[in-house]
A and B are shown apart, each in its own frame.
Chain A
Amino acid sequence: MRPHGDSWAKPPFPNAGADARRRAGACIALLVALLLLPPLLAGAEAGSWPTPPATAEPPPQVSGPLRGGTADHTKFKELQGPFESGPEVTRACLGCHTETGKHFMRNIHWTWSYQNPDTGQQLGKKYLINNFCTNSRGNEGMCAQCHAGYGWKDEHFDFTDETNIDCLVCHETTGTYYKTPNSEGSPACSVMFEGKPPIDLAAAAQSVDLPQRANCGACHFNGGGGDNVKHGDLSSALKAPPRTLDVHMGVDGLNFACSACHVTNQHVWAGSRYKVVSKDTEGTGLPGQRTDVATCESCHGLAPHPVDSLAAFKLNDHVQSVACQTCHIPAFARGGVATVVDWDWRTAGRTRDGEGYHEEGYIQGNGEHRYTYKSIKGDFTYAENLVPDYAWFDGQMVYTTIETKFDPAAESIDINGFTGSREDARSRIWPFKRMHTWQPYDKGNGTLVYTHLWGEDDAAYWGNYDMGAAIAKGMADFGLDYSGEYGFIETISWWPITHMVAPKEEALACGDCHTPDGSRLASVAGVYIPGRDRNAWLDTIGTILAFGTLAGILIHGLVRFFSSKGEHH
């Protein structure tokens, strides 16, 4: 590891918040019943006492975050090269980092598989269908460019071979490293990847460092098939963002790498969209703890607003109901890079002279043109500086998978619906990007479909443009039942917004939600929001009472004025 000082994790913010909360609690207790105070305070501290007894085998020590580094990789003879291939570099890495292969193979960047412990649902990119390019399954030759390994193109990939791990894509810092599809695909597509310069693998290997934003961003900024297409809050604008775009990642501010928040333990990262921590009730924990979450609270505590005003006191109360992101990310797809909000597969497959084509129809904030039509994918609608949708969210996403049966006549399908309500203690009001798509499905059986998009054969949609054939092969390759009749159905996917945190001075003001007209939370149910909500009857009666009285006074006064003229005492 090169000496390096920018990447750091878990800054030790003073935890003023917990004290403030305790004070607030004491105030309330005083108001309710002074006598109850001592037992209340005693109860609050009961959890941490007495100290648990020492075990015979002490757990491993919790070290601080990696900082500075202890080795200069340019000096390692193992990395002098020349290297013929990526796996050769990996072999060199594993020569010193003896346990890393085993660690890495457990993480989702390698497995592309995740089984939800609560719902039992088999999730992960390997299996899921989204409403962008739909499915990676069967299309790994293309999609697994973003697999952190070498050569996954079909079901025969060896997930147990450590040398298949791609260390460089995450750790090299020359910016010259790139990946190409693992299989050739149709000539109509492979032409896109021709003529790239060769990679100097030795230089890349010697440049390794903790992952930079550009490393993670190579895939995560391009989810859904292009810059910011999928998430809306993860775009190339975050490679070198100003503080105003993201207060943590800003190069003129804290300059956080992704792993400053997505803390890492043996190549397993905190922060999952499959199982979101929607409400962190633990806060910062003790020094060195909380290396398993990427929540705001794990650094900022449970009372994050310094209590220097009454408003700050109320804001800290809101933490129970409102996710930090809701106020502190006033808009997403900022920084000049647009996101796709609508995708229509129905129009895919048009050709000119038998060839696929694309059209540019949108110029985004940074001046770049974006494709609004591609023969291989259909029509896209872009948007920037978007106000999120808001809803109660308990952190649990419920996916419509290839196994899910639904009513074929349904108006729309939630690709990843979510649950949450005011009554649920884990739920808070979260911001979401809503993605709407018309995509192919099995009309006869009422299921989503695996579409065979990428391949060298005649059925691959990309190159042949026959949706029926692509679905038939996509399903048959995995032994799935297909009725033979496909249609297009509207699907919605929901993307919790959590990046592009604006500086505090740009956070939402109270009145953005607490207002009768145009409240940001206008559609959030199950809660009475002062300023937004009212009882029309009460307001009408009250107004009549007050203004009726004024009118009565006016009449009374006029009668007095005219009747008593000249008789004043």
Chain B
Amino acid sequence: MAMRRVKIFSLFERFWHWAQMLLIVVLLFTGFGLHGFHGLFSFEDAVTLHTGAAMALLVLWAFGTFWLFTTRSWRHFIPTIHGMWGVFRYYSFGIFRGERHPYRKAYWRKHNPLQALAYTMLKLVLFPAIWISGLIYLFYFSWRNLPHAPEYLQGVAFVHTAAAFAILTFAFIHVYMLTTGHSFRDHVMPMVTGFDDVDLTPEEEAYLRKDQPEDIR
């Protein structure tokens, strides 16, 4: 096993990440504006931005999901207990003693177990909760004549708002995590350049050197 600089985030994945970040920031800002928490935009502008950003994000997610499955990258997100305790212990204690992060990126495991679990929950619970409730919300006027539609709308709005609070909380933690372990910059740069330190098996390294030399430095 050897640490090498390997390209672990493809161009599409990086575009996905940063576009998603931008759209989610827009959605959070405009969404909490619509909710009445601030008045930085007029309601009309906020609705336009919010809906436009949501549609763009849905398209992005459609491509992202397609990409995850066609490239087999979805396997990075399979939950695992292996190494979880070490990571958990690190964030609880080790981090305060200046210990080194226990997790080493592997070529087919680029997230630590806690990270993988968090992202999986985000993808499978929070994101679907917000986009499904959002679409139902958006198309209220197509189902408004159902009995008790206003009560349902209220429920949909609560799910949507609750998911928004949860995603905001996730975003806070996500950004804070970048400051742990290595420097902030070390965490952000892989998502910019695509390259990070990865623990490669000799076979993986040999494969990359021969077949994908541009992906290894």
B42 near A531 with CB under 8 A, answer: no
B153 near A553 with CB under 8 A, answer: no
B100 near A569 with CB under 8 A, answer: yes
CA of A559 to CA of B98 in the docked complex: distance in angstroms? 11
Q: Which residue of A lies closest to B48 (CB)?
A: A310
* Interface size class, chain B: 35 or more
Q: How far is the CB of B158 from chain A (nearest CB, A)?
A: 6
Segment at the B interface, from A249-257, A453-461, A506-514: A506-514
Taking CB atoms and an 8 Å cut-off, the chain A residues in 292-334 that contact chain B are: 309-311, 314, 317-318, 320-321
Q: How far is the CB of A302 from chain B (nearest CB, A)?
A: 12
B44 near A510 with CB under 8 A, answer: yes
Contacts of B35 in A (CB 8 A): 530-531, 534, 539
CA of A423 to CA of B145 in the docked complex: distance in angstroms? 8
Selected from B44, B137, B164, B172, the residue in CB contact (under 8 A) with A311 is B44
Tell me if A560 is interfacial: C-beta within 8 Å of chain B. Answer: yes
A310 near B47 with CB under 8 A, answer: yes
B43 near A510 with CB under 8 A, answer: yes
B141 near A320 with CB under 8 A, answer: yes
Tell me if A546 is interfacial: C-beta within 8 Å of chain B. Answer: yes
Tell me if B82 is interfacial: C-beta within 8 Å of chain A. Answer: no
Contacts of B100 in A (CB 8 A): 569
Selected from A422, A510, A534, A563, the residue in CB contact (under 8 A) with B150 is A422
A528 near B165 with CB under 8 A, answer: no
A560 near B96 with CB under 8 A, answer: yes
Q: How far is the CB of A565 from chain B (nearest CB, A)?
A: 8
Q: How far is the CB of A478 from chain B (nearest CB, A)?
A: 46
Contacts of A317 in B (CB 8 A): 140-141
Tell me if A425 is interfacial: C-beta within 8 Å of chain B. Answer: yes
Q: How far is the CB of A34 from chain B (nearest CB, A)?
A: 15
B34 near A530 with CB under 8 A, answer: yes
Taking CB atoms and an 8 Å cut-off, the chain A residues in 83-106 that contact chain B are: none
Taking CB atoms and an 8 Å cut-off, the chain B residues in 163-211 that contact chain A are: 164-166, 168-169, 172-173, 176, 179-180
B166 near A545 with CB under 8 A, answer: yes
Contacts of B65 in A (CB 8 A): none
B34 near A514 with CB under 8 A, answer: yes
B142 near A310 with CB under 8 A, answer: no
Contact with A along B25-62 (1 / 0, CB 8 A): 00000000011100000111001100110000000000
B176 near A564 with CB under 8 A, answer: no
Tell me if A196 is interfacial: C-beta within 8 Å of chain B. Answer: no
Q: Known: A515-B43, A568-B98. Is A546-B168 also a contact (CB below 8 A)? A: yes
Tell me if B144 is interfacial: C-beta within 8 Å of chain A. Answer: yes
Contacts of B150 in A (CB 8 A): 422, 526-528
Tell me if A359 is interfacial: C-beta within 8 Å of chain B. Answer: no
Tell me if B162 is interfacial: C-beta within 8 Å of chain A. Answer: yes
Tell me if A538 is interfacial: C-beta within 8 Å of chain B. Answer: yes
Contacts of A532 in B (CB 8 A): 36
Contacts of B164 in A (CB 8 A): 542
Q: Known: A28-B139, A310-B48, A516-B36. Is A549-B169 also a contact (CB below 8 A)? A: yes
CA of A260 to CA of B179 in the docked complex: distance in angstroms? 70
Interface of B is mostly: helix
B165 near A563 with CB under 8 A, answer: no
Q: How far is the CB of A459 from chain B (nearest CB, A)?
A: 54
Tell me if A188 is interfacial: C-beta within 8 Å of chain B. Answer: no
Contact with B along A541-569 (1 / 0, CB 8 A): 11101100110010011011001100111
A310 near B52 with CB under 8 A, answer: yes
A567 near B141 with CB under 8 A, answer: no
CA of A516 to CA of B39 in the docked complex: distance in angstroms? 11
Q: Which residue of B lies closest to A511 (CB)?
A: B43
Tell me if B135 is interfacial: C-beta within 8 Å of chain A. Answer: yes
Q: How far is the CB of A525 from chain B (nearest CB, A)?
A: 10
Q: How far is the CB of A413 from chain B (nearest CB, A)?
A: 30
Contacts of B137 in A (CB 8 A): 530
Tell me if B95 is interfacial: C-beta within 8 Å of chain A. Answer: yes
Q: Which residue of A lies closest to B149 (CB)?
A: A422
A515 near B144 with CB under 8 A, answer: no
Contacts of B126 in A (CB 8 A): none
CA of A539 to CA of B35 in the docked complex: distance in angstroms? 10
CA of A510 to CA of B150 in the docked complex: distance in angstroms? 19
Q: Which residue of B lies closest to A514 (CB)?
A: B43
Contacts of A531 in B (CB 8 A): 34-36, 43
CA of A538 to CA of B154 in the docked complex: distance in angstroms? 12
Selected from A514, A545, A564, A569, the residue in CB contact (under 8 A) with B169 is A545
Q: Which residue of A lies closest to B155 (CB)?
A: A528
14 contacts between A and B (CB under 8 A): A314-B47, A320-B141, A509-B42, A509-B43, A511-B42, A528-B157, A531-B43, A538-B158, A538-B165, A539-B161, A545-B165, A549-B172, A563-B96, A563-B98
Known contacts A309-B48, A515-B36, A517-B36; 14 additional CB pairs below 8 A are A24-B142, A311-B44, A314-B47, A317-B141, A528-B157, A531-B43, A533-B154, A539-B35, A541-B165, A542-B161, A546-B169, A549-B172, A550-B172, A560-B95
Residues of A within 8 A of B (CB): 24-25, 28, 31, 309-311, 314, 317-318, 320-321, 422-423, 425, 509-511, 514-517, 526-528, 530-535, 538-539, 541-543, 545-546, 549-550, 553, 556-557, 559-560, 563-564, 567-569
Across chains A and B, which 3 residue pairs bring their CB atoms closest together, nearest first? A542-B165, A317-B141, A567-B98
